[in-house]
Chains A and B, each alone.
Chain A
Amino acid sequence: MWGARMSSVLRFSDVRKSFGKGDAKREVVRGLSLAVQGGQCFGFLGPNGAGKTTSLRMALGQTEPDSGLIELLGYTMPADARRAREKVGVVPQMDNLDPDFTVEENLIVYSRYFGMSDSVAKSKVPALLEFAGLSGREKSNIAELSGGMKRRLTIARALVNDPAFIVLDEPTTGLDPQARHLIWDRLKALRAKGKTLLLTTHFMDEAERLCDHLAVVDNGVLIAQGSPRELIEKTIEPDVVEVYGDNVAALKDRVSAFATRVEVSGETLFAYTTTPKPLTDVLAQFQGIRVLHRPANLEDVFIKLTGRELRD
């Protein structure tokens, strides 16, 4: 236990946070406890408004919890926030690169915030740009960069202090698939260098690909955690049969006998089962539908845990 504690890079115990006053008061983080171990890529999952960004801001000492304890790299937060942040890299949810500056100037100016001299700051630029796939872009203005390039530059900026721990808030939201793959590739490279990563996302494919450990939060409460494999095995039936058609809802009763759970969402029916064969045999008798049989994935876990309703 003691050993485990020693190696945890970030620890939350029973953290609570509310916003607003009086009747408008709403608790958005409700007794969260978790630990990020060194060397891990820790995925923090949850629908919009679950309290992910708020938790990260508390972890970085930018907003104070109402109660509970937070320790980052052995420092108590928010009391030692500034000192802890010397060793952390942050990729915020909203891009906040300096639009007045070139790519290179963005990195140099940011390095100075860590107390680096101009010459040290300058000497770091080539390697950082190389890592971000932006070599040759030193003199480009921020406005000339694509969304994916801006994100990669933001990641490079988070690395100026060679941090052991990197926090990324929705690093690929709003990017096209090519750009997302490039970011994943960079995050894997960081992971391979032994960095500890904490990232929030609501893309399950991203979490499944990158993360060793996942924590799912909803309404400020931790509802499940474990490795992607564990979560899938623990939470959900191994097989999913999806049925598409005009009136799939009418099939629900016919199918339920062959599945553990059946859900209809719009024109798709989802049947979760441990024995798919009898189910697919039954479905083969129907006309005018399409059937897809696939293994369960993290998205199914997420939907089961947090429901199908829209958030926002």
Chain B
Amino acid sequence: MSSSSSLGASFAIDMNDFSLLRFIPIWRRHFLSWRRYWLSSLMFAVGEPFIYMLGLGYGLGRLVPELGGMSYMMFVASGTLAFSIVNGATFEGMYSAFARMQIQRTWDAILNAPMSLSDVVLAEWTFAASKSVLSCVTFVGALVLLGISREWTLLLVVPAALLIGAVFAAIALIMCSVAKGYEFFSYWFSLGIMPLAMISGVFFPMSELPKALQTVSYCLPMSHAVDLVRPLLQGKISASVGLNIAVLAAYAIGGFGVAMALFRRRFAN
């Protein structure tokens, strides 16, 4: 029997028995474990973007008076907030999910209980997206404390973070599903996420980029994440909010589908 037909069979089995809620106890397991490490975990995802923000905002901000109709501090704060949201899901979906799958064998333990692989992956996905929300709440709290923004629209960053988190959690899980070890994740971070941030308007406006690169960036999810988040710091809603949400939702659902298929292949034996 070829592996593709057995993959098809197990997929059919899973679909027959699919449940949208069964993953919740697994999500709660991850949350309980996070509560033990919340400080270091937040430092990891929020600390770095926050330092970029302070360094660039207070440093470069003196040289660059205004950017895209806002202070540079506001520009870079909104960009790095989006970036910290991306980070939250990315770290969780790569390093933590891989540890649970491959190192601690948590997935194996769960799969001995009446859970299926789709429950396990759904829990990883939703939990990694929740980590984006946690990153976001921490970052926004700091912005409010520092007085960088105190708009009511900051509340809308939370649902935005969930959506953006869902996108980057799915992408991180795709990386996790094909990874042999942790090194692979540093490559994705340095050669994927960082360059993506550079061309997506996190640190400087996309209008400074060559036209072709702008088009590429426009087709990728991070620019839409930045677009969605940036105006919320100024009490405004993105002019292209519908498009931003549609593109992000498409990436989230498509990405999750791809991740699920790849995990099925990895677990076929």
A: residues with CB less than 8 A from B are 19, 21, 60, 62-64, 66-67, 78-79, 81-83, 85-86, 90, 92, 94, 96-101, 105, 109-110, 112-115, 158
Contact = CB atoms under 8 A, between A and B. Distances in A.
A195 B269 CA distance: 29
B114 A110 contact: no
B108 A92 contact: yes
Given A62-B112, A110-B113, 14 more contacts: A21-B3, A66-B6, A78-B13, A81-B13, A82-B17, A82-B115, A83-B17, A85-B114, A96-B106, A98-B106, A99-B104, A112-B28, A113-B115, A114-B113
B253 interface: no
Interface string B114-134: 111000000000000000000
Given A78-B13, A101-B32, A113 B25 contact: yes
List the 3 closest A-B pairs by CB distance, nearest first.
A112-B25, A113-B113, A96-B105
A127 to B, nearest CB: 19
Given A66-B1, A92-B108, A96-B105, A105 B32 contact: yes
Contact of A82 (B36, B104, B116): B116
Contacts of A105: 32
Contacts of B17: 82-83
Nearest to B37: A100
Contacts of B3: 21
B114 A86 contact: yes
Contacts of B13: 78-79, 81
A254 B137 CA distance: 86
A99 B37 CA distance: 13
15 contacts: A60-B112, A63-B269, A64-B6, A66-B1, A66-B6, A67-B1, A81-B116, A82-B17, A82-B115, A85-B114, A96-B108, A98-B29, A98-B106, A112-B29, A113-B110
Contacts of B26: 113
B207 interface: no
Contacts of A82: 17, 114-116
A78 B269 CA distance: 13
A85 B112 contact: yes
**Main secondary structure on chain A at its contact with chain B?**
loop
A85 B116 CA distance: 10
B156 interface: no
Nearest to B113: A113
B247 to A, nearest CB: 35
Contacts of B241: none
B187 to A, nearest CB: 27
Contacts of B190: none
A94 B105 contact: yes
B104 A85 contact: no
Contacts of A66: 1, 6
A232 to B, nearest CB: 34
B112 A92 contact: yes
Contact of A92 (B25, B29, B109, B116): B109
A112 B109 CA distance: 13
B243 interface: no
B112 A114 contact: no
Contacts of A90: 112
Nearest to B13: A79
B240 interface: no
Contacts of B109: 92, 96-98, 110
Contacts of B113: 85, 110, 113-114
Interface in B81-109: 104-106, 108-109
Nearest to B29: A109
A105 B268 CA distance: 31
Nearest to A110: B113
Contacts of B6: 64, 66
Contacts of B112: 60, 62, 85, 90, 92, 158
B231 to A, nearest CB: 39
Contacts of B268: 63-64
A142 B63 CA distance: 54
Interface in B7-35: 9-10, 13, 16-17, 25-26, 28-29, 32-33
A19 B6 CA distance: 13
A66 B29 CA distance: 34
A158 to B, nearest CB: 8
Contacts of A78: 10, 13
Nearest to B12: A79
Contacts of A97: 109
B216 interface: no
Nearest to A116: B25
A92 B109 CA distance: 8
Contacts of A101: 32-33
A113 B9 CA distance: 24
A78 B25 CA distance: 23
Interface in B244-269: 268-269
